[in-house]
Every structure is written in structure tokens, then in C-alpha cells.
Structure 1
């Protein structure tokens, strides 16, 4: 095998261009292989996750009342026909709204379903007007008196319509909500007034169900009003009985009826008197103290949403007692699943980058058919092919260079255990540094003695005391031959280039030299008398 290797370089003068071309190919292949690592990030970016919604459709029986009984909401007493109390059912509705409790559907269940159901709702009609205001304090008496007189900047009025002629209306009474609010930071201008009439009847609500709970979707503007129903006016209610809208007006009044009045008080500035929480909740102050530059938001949307929620809750509650109130409705349902999505453009780029790396390496294998047999990169085959230059004791010296892995193993099978070692080059001479099992404590002791020799030589040198040590290696002593086979003795002797053990008499002569009168020039040295071996 060494002959064949050397032949490859005998005609280096004429073959240099071929060798140079081969090196160029190797360099290009290395660069392309390095670039091929981009396939990992590209493939990661080519695959991503997304939520996939799988839709389903069906029908379900939804228990909800379209209408409510006349005396379901409140109790009226006395001659004034005013609402005195809420009924127990409507009181529960108000309490559940106050707690923002989940709305449960009686005897109905559907997972992640959206549908539309009919219930007790309102037809909303609103009109907008304005009023003039001016709280600017001028130098004239008129402006000062006007500012001192003050103005309402925020008002919410909730009434059940009871004007003359209500008894003759085809649909009876209705709810009237009026809001007045100053939405400008100016001290003079227009105050906005919005009036909304809510006529009760049947409306279709968009809802979402999950199990046995349901929630309204969108706002009141998303509801579809179907039909108005007659609502009994308050002055036609028999004392001790009640009507529907009286309960609604009582709940909405308790939560939203409010007002704020502002006036100028001279040296102390502007004064505000208010009732009800909304006067504060919808206020945006322009400074740290009240002033005519303060403004208010319109609470009308929230008031109508409250009325809508109360009506829907009442429809669900009444259906618990009147089980015939159910509707067969169509629903849309579905489940959301996390799925992988592939970007094929990026994926093809990643595949192309991978193939570039593969094809870049292929030219380096050009001519493999000329090897004459199957070849692998197994370490045993490589070691057998190249051997160890200058080492006649190499364990594969008698193995056929054309053997495969199995043949090599069979050929060296009788040698025994094989260990990895390192060949150390020192002054042009190679020496094996072989680890010897079960000799750890002994080797540590040797290292300790070496270092101790150097330290003592420095410490005792000023006292004209020399310290040196001898590393004799394996010597042919009686203790050395104990408990060792002849094969092991021969192996240890083979560590030395001289192929023999140390002579105790010669080692003793070296010790005598270090102890003699000529020792003064030698100190702090560990002298190896091991015939070139290393233990």
C-alpha cells in the first residue's frame, strides 16, 4: 500500500494541473456544502401553523319566549298607578343582570353554535334636537346673570309614556328615554338632546351558544324587529296587578336616571350639583375643578343595551315555566383546529439548496469505480490502508490491504483488547503514550514525585542541596515478574525501542552518580532510564 501511495506523487510535475483542479473542486464543494445548511431555516419558514375552522350546520330546539304575560314584570298599587315593586321573576332578572351572570338556556345544548332566535325585544326610534346654552362670564350684567342662573349640562329621563291619548293608541304604551348632554368644551353653544321611543314586541336576536349558556351577539342595531305587541298603559292597570313596561322603567330608572346642573358662583368659580351615578360616570373634566369647559358623553347606547339585555333574559326565564315556548332554529357550529400549512415556494427552495449540497460533493467521488472493490470510510479500513509509517509493530502489519472490515477483524482477532492511544513527537522521535488500566493511583504518584522534585530543587538550592529523580521504567526485578504472564512481560518490554527491560545494576549506577561529588551540576531533573519507553 505505501508503494501505491508514493507512486501517485512520482509524476508531480506533469500531474499538477489535475491536482490543482481537484483542489478547486473540493473548495467549491465545501462552499456549496456550507451554503446547504440554509435548508434548515428555509424548511422551518416553509412550514407554519394556523387555525382551521371546520363549519357544521344543523337544527336545535331553543327554549325562549317570544312574548311575556301582562303582569310578569311589576306590581302597581294605589290610585297613582305607579310601579311599587318588581315581581319575584323580574327581580331575579334584575339581580342576574347586576351580577352579569351567564344566561342559561332551558333544556337546550349546543357547542360553539351561532344562530338567531326570536324573543321579547324593542323597536327603537330616536330623534335628535339641540338647545342653546351660554355660561360665559362677561363684563356685562346680562352675561353674569345668565352664568349665575346656570344650566343643565347632563340629564337622563326614563318614562313609561302616559300622555293623554295613550289609551287609544293601537299598540298601547311604550318606553321613552331622553338624554341631554353637553359634548363640547366650549362655555357656549348647543346642548344635544336625544329622545328614543322603544315599542315592545317580537325581535330576532343574534346569539352564540356554548353548551347550555348563551350570549347576545352584536348590539341592539343588529337585532331584527319583527312585530309590535300591545302594551297595557299604567292607568289601565288594576291596583295589585301590574304591566310589563313598568318593570323595565323601574330597573332602568334605578341605574341611569341622573342629572348635573352647573352655575357660576362668583369668586368660588363654577358650582355643580348632581344626582345619580351617570352624571359622574359619563363626565370628562377639563381640569382639576369643575368648569364650563367640562363635557359629557351620551349614555343612550348603554341604556338601550341594558333594556335589550333585560328583555332577552326575561324571555329565557319565562320559557322555564312555559315549556311550550320553544323554537326550532338553524345553527352554524364548528371547531377550530391547529393545522400545519406549507409554503411550497419556500419548500422547493429548501429542497433545491439540499440538492446543491449533494451534487456539489458528487464530483469528489469521480473515479470511484477504479478502486477495484467496495470501499467504506470505516476507521479499520482506513487504518489498514495507510498503516502507520515507521512502526513495524503495527497490529495490522500482516493484514491484507484489500481486506474489508470483516476480514480485518478476523485477522487481528487473536491480538486481544485494542485501546486508542496517541503518538507523541518529541525531538524527532515517536513514543507511545498508552493509558494503562488499573494504574491510576500509580501514575498520579509518579506525577507527584516529578513535581515534588522540581519544587524541592528550588527550595533547597540556596542551601547547596541538589534534588533529582530517576524514572527507571519497567526493570527486571523480582517484584516486577510477580503475577505477570510472559505475554504481558513481552508486551511491556516491547514499549522500549530496545525491546528489553531495564537493568537494575545500571539504574543503581545512575543513582550513585546523582549522589556522588559530581552531582552539583544536576538538580531538579527527572532522568529517564527507561530505554525510550513511557509508562
Structure 2
């Protein structure tokens, strides 16, 4: 086979370096963090009258409050009037929300005997069921509303009532007694510090235990009063938002203790028709066995949802031309934030081990091929695989008179430079004569083939011509 054969095999094996080079370069994700300054516009309070107005002691809801409520329900993205963030920015901003004003709670201990006692009572809310001759007792009770106009407190207060039952398996005598806890809390408009996550101009409010730190309460709320004439319009700030949220968080579910329960059953679960079964299921602990009932307190989730509604109201009202007149004096919607910006980018990484393997194969191939060119200088000219060199090598008739030792450049310049050549139908002299049956030749029709020759002897092919050679 000889040395050229080995060189050919080595060059053929060079295909292996393709996968090696692919492994040598990979795409990786790199995250970088730096501090940036962002400027945004956000109302620190819900403007006075955002929810609508009260007239004849009735709340008339505004289109702005309806729009914010629908956006919250549909989980529409929140876009701030803010300098766009490249990547993800985490910053603290001041926005509207609620602050806890007053809260009270009461706890009822439930003994094992209460499970079977149809006359047992607990909770501030309960109803007598004459059909079963027993009390319907609260299992989960949630109500979010606002104070009536004749309340001694101002009307801009969200009143949240929450009651939850916690009872272990009554069949297990070692289990402690159960409890029912009911709380009533009042929330007023306030300015809160939020931890915001900004991507571009879209902002989200992460839900965590210390989200929405209260800075101060708002003083822009006007009170309903029975002394206000019926025809006087009185602006309202947040009550429409709390009433709308109540549609999704209100729960009124009861249990009915059975005096003669069937085996394995100690409670009759009988939610009232007005109960929100989806909300009840959200806070029900399904890991309990037997007759155990464990419910989680929904207060945090309700307050967080109310804060988000208030925050959305602050975003929507930013472009109001009269906003400065509807919030407390001295407040501004312009805020400058120090944010932590995180940018994630795709970068190329090189693994030099795979690259070294490919380089070694390429070096070996070069070492095998280089000896094949040893002695090229003895040719006295540069030899290429150009069309002229190929034509000279195969003794083309057009180049028979050319000096092949001059090289392509010298040959074109000195001898062939003025020759006009053309591609087309060239007469085939070998087929110009026909042979008779007795072996004698006579003139026949010229045959043509496609090729390159001097332009005067080349005919342009036309439609219908056939080339058999």
C-alpha cells in the first residue's frame, strides 16, 4: 500500500475530531449580580375615592375598583411606570396596603363528650337545627367586610372574622381535646414597604411571612356618618376592594354532632349553601384519619390578597392628573430604589481535554501528509490543481503548443492570454466519417459533443440537439 496509503487512512480518520470538538465546547448559564438604581412612579396610598362614593348610605363602586378587582381575579401582570430592569431586580418600594388596627380572639375547648352531645355549643356563630334537634356548630367561618355607616369606627376599615376548628380523632382516648378559635380583626389603609421582583417593567410581589412591612397608616379616608344628608356624595377609598375579595374568601361551614352516630362516624359535615367549598377545601388537612378535623387559619392569605388589591390600585392611579389632591399632603409618587440586579446569560465554555484530543489527531494527520510534498521545489514551478494544470496533465488539444514548464500564470500571460475560448457544441472529428459495408470510408454528418474550444469552432447548442458522446 505504501506511505501514501497510510496517509490516506490517517486523513480519513480525521472525521473523529468532529465529535471531539463538539465535546470541547459547551453552552453554560452564567449568573451575575450587581447593584443598580431604578426610578419608578407608584402612589404610596390608595387615593381618596378610588372605590367610589357613598350616597344614601350605599356604596357605589367605581370603574377603577372594578378594573383592579378583575385584573386581580385573572392574575393579570402588574406593569409599573419604571425604568426597565435588564434581568431580574429585587428592590424595596413603598406602596398602599392595610395595617392591623385591632384584633381580638376567643377559644372554646371541645371535650370528647361534645362530639356526641347534640346540644353542645361553641363559637359566636351557631344555629339550631330543628330537623335534627341539635345545634349546627361552626367548623370554618370567614367573612371580610366593612363597618356599617352607624359604626363608631370610621368606615374605611376592613373587618375580618375567622373561625377554625381543630379536633383530633375522637376514637383515640390519648388524644387531647379539640379547640375552636374565632378571631375578629380590623385593618385600616396604610403605607407598606414591599419586596418587589422586577423583570423589565413587570413586577411581582412574593408572598412570604414578613411581606408588607407597615410604615404608617393613611389619613386620607373620609368617614360615613348618619349625620351626612342623604343626597351628599362622600368618597370611599378601599371598601369596594374588601367586599370584592370577600366573594372569594367567605366560608360558612358547620358540623352537626350526632347523638346516635353510625359506626365509625362521629360528625355530620353539613356546609351551608352560602359556603365557599373551594376555600374550605384549600385549608382542610386531608392527612388526618378517623373523625379528626384540622383546618388552617387563612388570615395571612386574605390579608396578602387585600394588600395586592391595594397595591394594584396604587399602580393604576399613578397616572391620575389630580392624584396629589387625593393622597396625604407631602407624599410623592416618584421613588428611587436601590435594587439588586441579577442577569442570566448563555456563555460558551471550552474543555481543553477534548480539544487537546482533536488537536493531536490533526497534528498526526499533518505529519503524515507533509512528507508527500517533500521535493516539490524540484519542479521549478508551483503546481496546482487548477483547470489549466489538469488540462496540461491530460494533454488537452487546446494546450498542445503551450510550454507546460512555464506555470499557469506565465502560460496565460505569454501564450494563451489572447485566445478566446467558449463552452458549447464542439465537432467530434473521430466521428466525421461513416464506414460502408465493404470497409471504405465516405464523408458523413459531423458529430458534436459538449466541450471547451476556441470560440470560432464552437457552436451554441439549440433546441432539439442530441449529444451521444
3-state secondary structure, aligned to 2:270? strand
Deviations 1:411-459 (A, max 9, x none): 9x99x9999xxxxxxxxxxxxxxx989x9xxxxxxxxxxxxxxxxxxxx
Aligned positions of 1:32-181 closer than 5 A: 32-45=10-23, 46=25, 48=27, 57-58=36-37, 60=39, 62-66=41-45, 68-69=47-48, 73=51, 84-88=58-62, 90-98=65-73, 100=75, 103=78, 108=81, 110-112=83-85, 114=89, 115-123=91-99, 142=116, 151-158=137-144, 175-181=158-164
Counterpart CA distance in 2 for 1:158 and 1:102 is: 25
Counterpart CA distance in 1 for 2:437 and 2:341 is: 88
Moved more, 402-411 or 301-310: 402-411
Deviations 1:50-108 (A, max 9, x none): 68889894553514143643x65466678xxxx74244254554455445555566xx4
**Greater gyration radius:** 1
Aligned positions of 1:227-238 closer than 5 A: 227-229=216-218, 238=227
Change in CA separation of 1:40 and 1:172 when aligned onto 2, cut-off 3 Å:
same
Q: Who is 1:464 aligned against?
A: none
Counterpart CA distance in 1 for 2:300 and 2:195 is: 18
Q: Who is 2:243 aligned against?
A: 250
Change in CA separation of 1:406 and 1:326 when aligned onto 2, cut-off 3 Å:
closer
Moved more, 321-330 or 172-181: 172-181
Conserved? CA contact 1:262–1:271, under 8 Å: yes
| CA shift for structure 1 position 307 | 0.6
Q: TM-score, normalised by structure 1?
A: 0.52
Query: Whose strand proportion is higher, 1 or 2?
Result: 2
3-state secondary structure, aligned to 1:274? coil
Counterpart CA distance in 2 for 1:47 and 1:474 is: 75
Q: Who is 2:337 aligned against?
A: 330
| CA shift for structure 1 position 359 | 2.9
Change in CA separation of 1:349 and 1:122 when aligned onto 2, cut-off 3 Å:
farther
Superposed CA RMSD in Å reads 5.8
Aligned positions of 1:341-490 closer than 5 A: 341-343=348-350, 345=352, 346-347=354-355, 350-369=358-377, 373-377=381-385, 404=407, 481-484=443-446
Structure 2 residue 256 is matched with structure 1 residue 263 = yes
Change in CA separation of 1:365 and 1:129 when aligned onto 2, cut-off 3 Å:
farther
Conserved? CA contact 1:63–1:323, under 8 Å: no
| CA shift for structure 1 position 236 | 6.2
Q: Who is 1:274 aligned against?
A: 272
Query: Whose helix proportion is higher, 1 or 2?
Result: 1
Conserved? CA contact 2:117–2:257, under 8 Å: no
Q: TM-score, normalised by structure 2?
A: 0.58
Matched residues, number: 391
Conserved? CA contact 1:166–1:173, under 8 Å: no
| CA shift for structure 1 position 203 | 1.0
| CA shift for structure 1 position 119 | 2.4
3-state secondary structure, aligned to 1:280? helix
Conserved? CA contact 2:78–2:204, under 8 Å: no
Match of 2:281 among 280, 283, 294: 283
Counterpart CA distance in 1 for 2:113 and 2:407 is: 108
| CA shift for structure 1 position 30 | 4.2
Q: Who is 1:224 aligned against?
A: 213
Change in CA separation of 1:62 and 1:150 when aligned onto 2, cut-off 3 Å:
same
Conserved? CA contact 2:135–2:256, under 8 Å: yes
| CA shift for structure 1 position 222 | 3.1
Deviations 1:126-156 (A, max 9, x none): 9999766689999xxx478879766433221
Conserved? CA contact 1:200–1:229, under 8 Å: yes
Deviations 1:276-304 (A, max 9, x none): 453334417999xxx95676565434312
Deviations 1:188-245 (A, max 9, x none): 774675856645321123446678x654431263333212346979786755547656
| CA shift for structure 1 position 326 | 2.1
Q: Who is 1:452 aligned against?
A: none
Counterpart CA distance in 2 for 1:26 and 1:482 is: 49
| CA shift for structure 1 position 308 | 0.8
Counterpart CA distance in 2 for 1:293 and 1:281 is: 19
Counterpart CA distance in 2 for 1:250 and 1:394 is: 101
